[in-house]
Chains A and B, each alone.
Chain A
Amino acid sequence: MKMFRIIGRSIRDAFKSVFRNFSLSMASILCATITLLVVGISLIIAGNIDNATKSLEKELNIVVYLDKSATEYDAMELKSKIEAIANVEKVEYKSKESWKSEMSEYNPSFGTVFENYEDNPLLDSFVVTVNNSKSLDKVTKQIRELELIESANYGEDTVNTMVSVFDVVKKTTIVVLIALIFVTAFLISNTIKLTIYSRRSEIEIMRLVGGSNAAIKLPFVFEGFVIGLLGSIIPIIVIVYGYIIAFERLDGHIITDIIKLISPYNFVFIIAGIIALLGALIGMFGSLRAVRKYLKV
């Protein structure tokens, strides 16, 4: 009960203080706004790159054609051998018959061509999926070493470079993102320190009359929470509308048709949620760090 009253009082005081010391709070809020905006944009970039990489990686299969002499029994045996290779996720068998019917269905003129042959001219094949695009090369080489393999190939080189470029961009964005979060926390904590500096006599008195550390810290923690949340409003609006408009203007993809943007609904709301949460958390930890200085803990 006592704790609830202390919490209630802390929330009340937090709002009071934010508005009473508005110019100082404004500095913290602005600081949060700017960095959260950059954080939000980085999140959008990182999310889209991640999405593009994943969808590209999904298309990176190894197509294996079997030798003409391979029997169905050989095929089954080879399948289990390929499955045993490290990093292989899935091996799909596609017989030459199913290729034939699929192609004929796709274009009836293929059907007439096939009819001119006595034998099916196509080859049995496997489509091999790996769990990690980096292992494509190694797995392909291992498959080629097996018997009764006509050929084993994977995606074009362009796709490959794209994936590795994305990988670098993604990692850089994440590093920048983490650095930004720390910088924001640090900046907010310093601006909140100014607010707290002007209230150090209040903290001193609280300590003197026997306020527990929690009771002393709570108002400041809530204040940081409020500041962080207020600071996230503009970034959220800019990012939600900005992304929806950008998505429509770009027709949902960027540079080439293959690189699809994540469709805005849900995605922007998730990003908005993350920004609000980050703002609140950064504000809380920032002010906790600031108030520590005035407490002998």
Chain B
Amino acid sequence: MKFIELKNVNKTYSTGVTALADLSVEIEKGEFVFVIGHTASGKSTFIKMLYREEKPTKGSVIVGGVNVAKLRNRKVYKLRRKIGVVFQDFKLLPKLTVYENVAFALECLGLKAKDIKPKVMKAIEIVGLKEKTRSFPHQLSGGEQQRVCIARAIVNEPKLLICDEPTGNLDPETSKEIMKVISNINKDLKTTVIMATHDKEIVNRMKKRVLLIEHGVLTGDYLKGSYKSHENV
């Protein structure tokens, strides 16, 4: 069985909008996959299936051997502990320092304080923020805030890192740095990365697997793909 396996996934929201239609795809451990498509094509919905923020209307979503489509709400936290998630808006707690924001993820899980510290320091080092552990989010640039989010996402050493437009709020230069951080995590920690994005430049430069979603349908799956292969997007 593949690490991630979506089979005939349909998602119709309660409003009647069908965001995904009969989508099937397999992703191996350690892959780096971009998900691209027009706005409202269903990228975020696809991402939300993976961390079980939304349930598919039909079909199965298997992540690490578990059909998360069948997962009870009460049990979702078990899945979340194996997944790191990064968003366009950073979702940092404004009253906590960088260190505390990252440690927060582990405190929620009830880890011992003395076990938390080395893990947090390691995650902060990976994203290159060692100098800023005592800063508060409002004292950081956008790129730095996104690094904190990435550190928080990987602090529990997840097998899967999911990103929904992580560079959406950042300038091209900063985006490049963030992509370097994410691609290093993929390379060094062997973390599987799935990333929804609009950013043509990034996709074209990275030459990774690309999934194209159009109107909720998976219309393209290119290894070493780029935006160039379908100029219409």
> Could you list which residues of chain A lie within 8 angstroms of chain B, going by C-beta atoms?
2-3, 5-6, 9, 20, 201-202, 204-213, 215-216, 296-297
Tell me whether A212 and B112 are in contact in the complex, defined as CB-CB below 8 angstroms, given that A204-B91, A205-B91 are known contacts.
no
- Inter-chain CA distance A132–B80, complex, in Å, is 62
Instruction: Write the chain A residue with the least CB distance to B106.
Output: A209
In the complex, which of the residues B80, B93, B95 contacts A210, with contact meaning CB atoms closer than 8 Å?
B80
Contact of B73 with A201 in the complex, beta carbons under 8 Å: no
- If A201-B91, A201-B93 touch, whether A208 touches B80 (CB-CB below 8 Å) is yes
Kindly identify which residue among B51, B82, B91, B108 contacts A211, using a CB–CB cutoff of 8 Å: B108
- Is B80 touching A207 in the complex (CB atoms < 8 A)? yes
- 10 tightest Cβ-Cβ pairs between the two chains A and B: A210-B81, A211-B108, A210-B80, A209-B105, A2-B110, A6-B110, A296-B73, A212-B77, A210-B77, A5-B110
Cβ–Cβ contact B78 & A205, under 8 A: no
CB distance from A217 to the nearest CB of B (A): 12
With A209-B108, A209-B152 as contacts: A202 and B93 at CB distance below 8 Å: yes
Nearest residue in A to B79 (C-beta to C-beta)? A210
Q: How far is the CA of A208 from the CA of B51 in the complex (A)?
A: 9
Question: What are 24 A-B contacts defined by CB distance under 8 Å?
Answer: A2-B111, A3-B110, A5-B110, A5-B112, A9-B107, A20-B95, A201-B93, A205-B104, A207-B76, A207-B80, A208-B91, A209-B80, A209-B104, A209-B105, A209-B152, A210-B78, A210-B79, A210-B81, A210-B108, A210-B156, A211-B77, A211-B109, A215-B109, A297-B74
Residues from chain B with Cβ under 8 Å of A3 in the complex: 110
Partner of A209, one of B74, B95, B156: B156
Q: Does B124 contact A (CB under 8 A)?
A: no
Asked if B93 contacts A213 (CB within 8 A), the reply is no
Chain B positions 35-52 with a Cβ under 8 Å from a chain A Cβ: 51
Cα–Cα distance between A6 and B79 once the two chains are bound (Å): 19
Q: How many A-B residue pairs have CB under 8 A?
A: 59
Q: Which chain A residue has the least Cβ–Cβ distance from B108?
A: A211
Chain B residues with CB under 8 A of A2: 109-111
Q: How far is the CA of A198 from the CA of B54 in the complex (A)?
A: 24
B54 to chain A, nearest CB (A): 10
- List of B residues within 8 angstroms of A212 by Cβ: 77
Q: Which of A202, A204, A205, A207 contacts B77 (CB 8 A)?
A: A207
Interface membership of chain B positions 211-225, coded 1 if the CB is closer than 8 angstroms to chain A and 0 otherwise: 000000000000000
Q: How far is the CB of A6 from chain B (nearest CB, A)?
A: 4
**B28 → chain A closest CB, angstroms:** 24
With A204-B91, A205-B105, A215-B110 known, 20 other A-B pairs at CB within 8 A are A2-B110, A3-B110, A6-B110, A9-B107, A201-B93, A205-B91, A205-B104, A207-B77, A208-B91, A209-B80, A209-B81, A209-B105, A209-B108, A210-B80, A210-B81, A210-B82, A210-B108, A211-B77, A213-B77, A215-B108
In the complex, which residues 98-116 of chain B have their Cβ closer than 8 Å to any Cβ of chain A? 104-105, 107-112
In the assembled complex, B85 has its CB within 8 A of some CB on chain A: yes
Chain B interface, number of residues (Cβ within 8 angstroms): 24
**Which residues in B have their C-beta under 8 angstroms from that of A201?**
91, 93
B residues in contact with A204, CB < 8 Å: 91
Task: Convert B58-96 into 0s and 1s, putting 1 for each residue whose CB lies closer than 8 angstroms to a CB of A.
Answer: 000000000000000110111111100100000101010
Q: What's the least CB distance linking A170 to chain B, in Å?
A: 44
Chain B contacts with A in 164-200, Cβ cutoff 8 A: none
Bound-state CA distance A100–B80 (Å) is: 89
Residues of A within 8 A of B93 (CB): 201-202, 205
Are A297 and B73 interface neighbours, CB within 8 A? yes
Which of chain A's residues have a CB closer than 8 A to the CB of B110? 2-3, 5-6, 9, 215
Whether the pair A206, B108 counts as a contact (CB closer than 8 A) is: yes
| Alpha-carbon distance between A297 and B77 when the two chains are bound, in angstroms | 11
Distance between Cα atoms of A2 and B93 in the complex (Å): 24
A208 to B47 alpha-carbon distance, docked (Å): 13
Q: Mark B101-136, 1 if CB is under 8 A from A, else 0.
A: 000110111111000000000000000000000000
Instruction: State in angstroms the CA–CA spacing of A208 and B76 once bound together.
Output: 9
Minimum Cβ distance to chain B for residue A270 (Å): 38
Residues of chain A with a CB closer than 8 A to B51's CB: 208
List residues of chain A with CB within 8 A of the CB of B107. 9
The listed residue with most B CB atoms (<10 A of its CB), out of A5, A206, A209, A297, is A209
Instruction: Report A195 CB to chain B, min CB distance, Å.
Output: 14
What is the distance, in angstroms, from B11's C-beta to the closest C-beta of chain A?
Answer: 16
Across-interface contacts of A216 in B (CB, < 8 A): 108
Taken together as a complex, chains A and B put the C-alpha atoms of A212 and B108 apart, in Å, by 8
A-chain residues with CB within 8 Å of residue B85 when the two chains form the complex: 208
In the complex, A216→B110 CA distance in Å?
Answer: 11
